[in-house]
Amino acid sequence: MASVDFRNVTKSFGNFTAVSDVSFSIGDGEFVCLLGPSGCGKTTSLRMIAGLETPTSGQIQIGGEDVTHLHPKDRQISMVFQDYALYPHMNLADNIAYPLKVRGEAVARRHARAKEVADVLKIGHLMDRLPSQISGGQQQRTSLARALVYPSKVYLFDEPLSNLDAKLRLEARGFLNHLQRDMGMTAVYVTHDQAEAMALATRIAVMDQGRIVQYASPIEIYRRPATTFVANFVGNPPMNLVEVTGTQGDGQLRLVAGGLTLGGLPMSDTIGAALAAGEKLTLGIRPEHLSIAEPGAANTITGTLFANENMGPESLVTIERADATRLTARIFTDDHLDLGETVTLAFAAEHLHLFDGAGKRIPA
């Protein structure tokens, strides 16, 4: 296993910059997810680790060694692709053993090793089948087995679960989590699915427009998103964001928006500076930190019921405010609510997030 380092890595295609001056380090044995919307540069970053793309500038190191211009086959990396990339004319045994074949291992040895890995992945009984004769989940495990059959310094995954149905996807996610913690492998995993990143990663690098906007543990990213972009991208349903006007009085902060007045919040120099600059602030509230309250209670926000979605253990209650913006609450209740009914949602001040005019988190 080995660490991976990006040092001021930029990748341009013509005059378009896909990855822009990215620097970060992935520790030995870490599972790092590159998370972000389509086109933000995740796959390009992964392909640069693999050696399938060369940085325009900057350096990539694996295990402290500069590999920026090293051929892919000399990097000791394994990659699992979104479409599995299995050889259709080879049975599972030959597909899985392929990396050992190209490295010159004898037939008996490579088939024994392939069977060992396949057994761990619970596909050992399918070794004679062709890829077309097994299910999508089994194909996914076959591509995983092929990646694991030969010891690598770093394992790279490019959205490997995206072709599976919802149930298989959850099962495979749990399996990958177990496997990585069990093997202690260094893994870099590209996804645009925030739940997958939260479940798998030791650290998440959230990317936007070719840059890393936050690099931290899943819980840190969830609890203290660095920007409104991260707050909105991580969490399902996402964090509610409300534009507010802030005023300062008696050393305390007061926030006002349609249907919302919040007073008695602690001031800080950063908030003071944002207010002095006339910036609009953004208030963030996670859906699970909202609850239904009586009208007129303190720290509440009101609107009319837009939707009430029963999810089984909980309901997602969405209200629409007078300015047509919506807030969603995750509520554990069976109460009946009628569309258009006035609903008041309450929140505790300690669960609020505050962002400045540029969308950057204002520390509490």
Which residues lie near ligand ATP (CB under 6 A)? 13, 16, 18, 36, 38-44, 192
The answer to whether 147 touches 188, Cβ cutoff 8 Å, is: no
Closest separation between CB of residue 34 and ligand ATP, Å? 8
Rounded to a whole number of angstroms, the minimum distance from the CB of residue 18 to ligand ATP is: 3
Q: Alpha carbon of 78 to those of 52, 59, 74, 172, 186: distances in Å?
A: 12, 20, 11, 18, 11
Contact (CB, 8 A) for 92 and 118: yes
Q: 221 or 317: whose CB is closer to ligand ATP? A: 221
Residue 354's DSSP bridge partners are: 283
Around Cβ 243, how many Cβ atoms within 10 Å? 14
Residue with Cβ nearer ligand ATP (42 or 173) = 42
In this structure, is the dihedral angle defined by the CA atoms of residues 75, 27, 22 and 198, taken in order, positive or negative?
Answer: positive
CB of 338 to ligand ATP, least distance (A): 40
Residue 35 or 96 with smaller CB distance to ligand ATP:
35
Q: How far is the CB of 59 from ligand ATP (least distance, A)?
A: 19
CB atoms within 10 A of CB 263: 15
Query: Please, what is the minimum distance in Å from the beta carbon of residue 162 to ligand ATP?
Result: 9
Nearer to ligand ATP by Cβ, of 162 and 304: the residue is 162
Residue 177 C-beta: closest distance to ligand ATP, Å: 21
Residue 229 or 355: which CB sits closer to ligand ATP? 229
End-to-end CA distance of the chain: 38
Q: Would you say 4 and 60 are in contact if contact means Cβ atoms under 8 Å apart?
A: yes
Residue closer to ligand ATP, measured from CB, 50 or 123: 50
Give least dist CB 44 to ligand ATP, A: 3
Token code pair at residue 78: 């394994």
Q: How far is the CB of 206 from ligand ATP (least distance, A)?
A: 11
| Residue 9 or 281 having the CB closest to ligand ATP | 9
Between 47 and 153, name the residue whose CB sits nearer to ligand ATP: 47
Smallest separation, CB 210 to ligand ATP (Å): 7
Q: Burial-class residue 220 by CB neighbours within 10 Å (0-12, 13-18, 19+).
A: middle
In this structure, the number of other CB atoms found within 10 A of the CB of residue 178 comes to 10
In degrees rounded to 5, what are phi and psi of residue 260?
A: -140, 130
Looking at beta carbons only, is 44 or 186 nearer to ligand ATP?
A: 44
Rounded distance between C-alpha atoms, residue 307 and residue 54, angstroms: 49
The whole-angstrom separation of Cα 194 and Cα 184 is: 22
Residue placing its CB nearer to ligand ATP in the complex, 32 or 354: 32
The kind and range of the H/E element at 310 are strand 300-310
The least CB distance from residue 158 to ligand ATP, in Å, is 8
Concatenated DSSP letters of 60-99? EEETTEE-TT--GGGS-EEEE-TT----TTS-HHHHHHHH
Query: Hey, what amino acid is at 49?
Result: I
**Six-digit token pair at 183?**
């093997």
8 Å CB contact between 11 and 53: yes
